[in-house]
Structure 1
């Protein structure tokens, strides 16, 4: 097992899902959360188990929401976004497995085989000389090399790199020729500051940069909504869709169901990873593209059909199976006859239900229970019924739940959610808020896992 450093992207919309995505992908590659030992510390025993950090904030967003749902917290003790540490140590079987996680994870900026960390460059130099002579010999001596120098929470000043390298000349004088285009070794030197205003240097990370998203690019941009042929008013945002699929641990051969499929955004991302996809919707207009789907205005005019299948054909993906029915009266045999112990067959349920004003007319037709919280509760219960009846053991249900930005409403909403989600066959694994722009209501991402029978 090796300890690596993941440098995560600081995306303010999805920053609360960083831990969840990393832990979910680790499980996908056979690494339990305990084995992964995700932490801001290299040494797992150095404060990694503490729920509260030295500033009184929860060490992870998931710990905060879990405490909130247990009724233990009333104050918002999430770490402020401008102070969030996006550098995570993780234990993996090999560098190759870490690369697999990097390749798939949406929120990883860089993968670093860390040699050491410290608060000053003399400290870094002494640690390398004492503990990492083999790394210097194997990675630098006689090798073509370059340096990736960056500052987090501060502006990077490339002119400082020369003096930094001169101060560490005992190491770099032994290295081969500098090669910026085709190096054999890329050294990462990263300075993490408290914030740009204070200029308080927290940590210096030094190691080999194994993968860098800036160099490789974001493969998921090929599915960007700006280039997708057919869109709908409530099409799931592309980055969020891929994060949700990672939370669901979809892999080749996984059976994936979206019971509120809409324009099929979640199934497109699941298909990319080899999922066998099924979808349903009560609104035939959505499936057929009648007065709902529309051609992307960023693309040249076209007469291609506006139904849900067009995007799958555009990406060369297998066509998903689509059904039209009301989720109150499920056609699935495993739900119609739960006492007959029908075999569960769905690996993941991923969906963005039609809450509130997003589809108010559809909601009234669907439930006839009023609007607002009543509709939300009915939708959640419908999803939980699906999850209990159809998910295989360890299968996951990932969905979004609307909540206002007001803190008191959020506390009430989460307490209500806890009551609704309390099912004997289901376990809440991850929670996180996705704030929307303009002060509008946020969405809470929920990841729920089927509990194997007998546990």
Structure 2
């Protein structure tokens, strides 16, 4: 039998639904090239992109439960028993399959699930439509809305336009429906009730865990909202949206034990979402202020805090997640080892762009100093070196000018001291802005050397809507397959791609 998969219509990320579905199926071991080849071809993908549901021939029930437990945009799956344009057509088809009802519902608790795509129905209308099939269900009176064993599904498909007519009706057995389903809540915090609180350090975080566990116990709330930005203790100026972060994780096909790298880690939002799937997370950023919480990060005003520490690791501790390893480095001068074999399973990142966050690199800067004759001279100083103590610079200058200092007046000494301080201050200004295109080129360079064969690179790329084709050309790389570039429109003239690329297999060295 065929299976019906339906999606939630997301206003922001609706373009990503097919890419996320394909990636999750491959994550759990399904070969989409054979089963979903027609859907994911270029022309057909644009056709199905606006559909609220699709029919597939993948009959692995456990696979669909795993997919829907992680997916943000896939809502449910049912095994189709009958379909038609009218209720009479559906009932006529079902009357020929009474044996199917007997094998499925006999001596089992069951309930009905109703959903309509493109129209809101009140409770009276829902009840009337479900009662239409009483002739088939009147012999099975063991109905239980809470502790059911079997769930029958009745779905209606309307057009996307307001007041559109009924297009299709589907009836079948629900395989996995996310709504109010305890078994489909992907949440690490639920397992906290089994934790042994023997360690004294754990006792210090009991209040945080109790709050998180309490939030996770409500199945009426979608599981990923427990990690929403407004529920995190530490907030950053440009943290990636929670839903988008999970979509990017799903597209990257990450799973337990994978090594995930974020070269633009910022406030750590993406790595926090990756950690929820029990991955090993590593990141780097050039701006130490974000990592340490200096001035940029701030405490959530709607939460109680035991201390005023604002580093990004507090969010990981709050949700009982593994702390990532993060270093301060410049992506234009990669610190990663390119000599040995690749070691990263996926890169998931959001390069900074726009007015609120710019891309920065370390550069050389011209600094003015004075020679023994009192004339200006230019010193080229490597500005990617951070000086924590000013005494080293002052001592070096004193040694170079030792013979001249003895013959100078006190006024001249004061002038030299001011010059030294100005020079030291300029050394601390170690960053300069460069464009997002260069940042993406550096990202592709790092990914090409570090990602394993068939590993995934997923990132956000800002574009101008009037030159989309030129922007796509920039994403082509000799070492990667461009899997998808799903567009999210931000303004009338700008948007961004959710880009996913797969590392090509390297040729074996002879």
Shorter-chain TM-score: which interval? 0.7 to 0.9
1:75 paired residue number: none
Unmatched 5+ residue regions in structure 2?
A: 182-218, 366-430
1:386 paired residue number: 446
Equivalent positions of 1:17-416 (< 5 A) are 17-37=16-36, 58-61=46-49, 84-92=50-58, 94-130=60-96, 132-195=97-160, 197-216=162-181, 217=219, 218-334=222-338, 337=339, 342-360=340-358, 362-363=359-360, 375-404=435-464, 407=465, 409=466, 412=467, 414-416=468-470
* Alpha carbons of structure 1 residues 326 and 265: separation in structure 2 relative to 1, 3 Å: same
- For the Cα contact (< 8 Å) 1:248–1:447, is it kept in 2? yes
TM-score, length basis structure 1? 0.82
Query: What is the CA–CA distance in structure 1 between the aligned matches of 2:473 and 2:175, rounded to whole Å?
Result: 44
Query: What is the CA–CA distance in structure 2 between the aligned matches of 1:255 and 1:163, rounded to whole Å?
Result: 52
Q: Bigger CA drift: 265-274 or 351-360?
A: 351-360
- For the Cα contact (< 8 Å) 1:225–1:237, is it kept in 2? yes
What's the offset of the Cα at 1:203?
0.8
- For the Cα contact (< 8 Å) 1:6–1:90, is it kept in 2? yes
Query: What is the CA–CA distance in structure 2 between the aligned matches of 1:227 and 1:51, rounded to whole Å?
Result: 39
SS of the residue aligned with 2:237?
Answer: coil
Query: What is the CA–CA distance in structure 1 between the aligned matches of 2:324 and 2:225, rounded to whole Å?
Result: 22
* Alpha carbons of structure 1 residues 448 and 351: separation in structure 2 relative to 1, 3 Å: same
- For the Cα contact (< 8 Å) 1:355–1:402, is it kept in 2? yes
SS of the residue aligned with 2:360?
Answer: helix
* Alpha carbons of structure 1 residues 60 and 453: separation in structure 2 relative to 1, 3 Å: farther
- For the Cα contact (< 8 Å) 2:298–2:310, is it kept in 1? yes
What's the offset of the Cα at 1:433?
1.6
User: How many residues of Structure 1 are paired with residues of Structure 2 in the alignment?
Assistant: 404
Q: Bigger CA drift: 346-355 or 100-109?
A: 100-109
What's the offset of the Cα at 1:346?
0.5
* Alpha carbons of structure 1 residues 174 and 367: separation in structure 2 relative to 1, 3 Å: farther
What's the offset of the Cα at 1:21?
0.4
What's the offset of the Cα at 1:191?
0.9
Q: Bigger CA drift: 188-197 or 442-451?
A: 188-197
TM-score, length basis structure 2? 0.73
Query: What is the CA–CA distance in structure 1 between the aligned matches of 2:489 and 2:42, rounded to whole Å?
Result: 24
Unmatched 5+ residue regions in structure 1?
A: 39-43, 62-83
Query: What is the CA–CA distance in structure 1 between the aligned matches of 2:317 and 2:363, rounded to whole Å?
Result: 30
- For the Cα contact (< 8 Å) 2:24–2:67, is it kept in 1? yes
* Alpha carbons of structure 1 residues 157 and 170: separation in structure 2 relative to 1, 3 Å: same
Superposed CA offset, 1:307-363 (max 9, x none): 1211112121221111111111111121xx5xxxx3111010110101131323x53
CA RMSD, 1 decimal: 2.6
- For the Cα contact (< 8 Å) 2:484–2:501, is it kept in 1? yes
Query: What is the CA–CA distance in structure 2 between the aligned matches of 1:451 and 1:211, rounded to whole Å?
Result: 34
* Alpha carbons of structure 1 residues 420 and 163: separation in structure 2 relative to 1, 3 Å: closer
Superposed CA offset, 1:238-269 (max 9, x none): 11111101111111111100000001111111
* Alpha carbons of structure 1 residues 161 and 332: separation in structure 2 relative to 1, 3 Å: closer
- For the Cα contact (< 8 Å) 2:345–2:455, is it kept in 1? yes
SS of the residue aligned with 1:150?
Answer: strand
Query: What is the CA–CA distance in structure 1 between the aligned matches of 2:260 and 2:330, rounded to whole Å?
Result: 19
* Alpha carbons of structure 1 residues 365 and 435: separation in structure 2 relative to 1, 3 Å: farther
SS of the residue aligned with 1:148?
Answer: strand
- For the Cα contact (< 8 Å) 1:259–1:279, is it kept in 2? yes
Q: Which has the higher contact order (CA 8 A, sep 6+)?
A: 1
Q: Is 1:4 matched up with 2:64?
A: no
1:64 paired residue number: none
Superposed CA offset, 1:22-42 (max 9, x none): 10011111112223427xxxx
SS of the residue aligned with 2:496?
Answer: strand
* Alpha carbons of structure 1 residues 165 and 355: separation in structure 2 relative to 1, 3 Å: closer
1:434 paired residue number: 488
- For the Cα contact (< 8 Å) 2:85–2:167, is it kept in 1? yes
What's the offset of the Cα at 1:145?
2.6
What's the offset of the Cα at 1:399?
0.4
Which has the larger Rg?
A: 2
Query: What is the CA–CA distance in structure 2 between the aligned matches of 1:367 and 1:233, rounded to whole Å?
Result: 28
Superposed CA offset, 1:183-239 (max 9, x none): 332211111111463431111111122333221342222211111011110111111
Aligned with residue 420 of structure 1, among 449, 463, 474: 474
- For the Cα contact (< 8 Å) 1:356–1:363, is it kept in 2? no
Query: What is the CA–CA distance in structure 2 between the aligned matches of 1:325 and 1:109, rounded to whole Å?
Result: 40
1:79 paired residue number: none
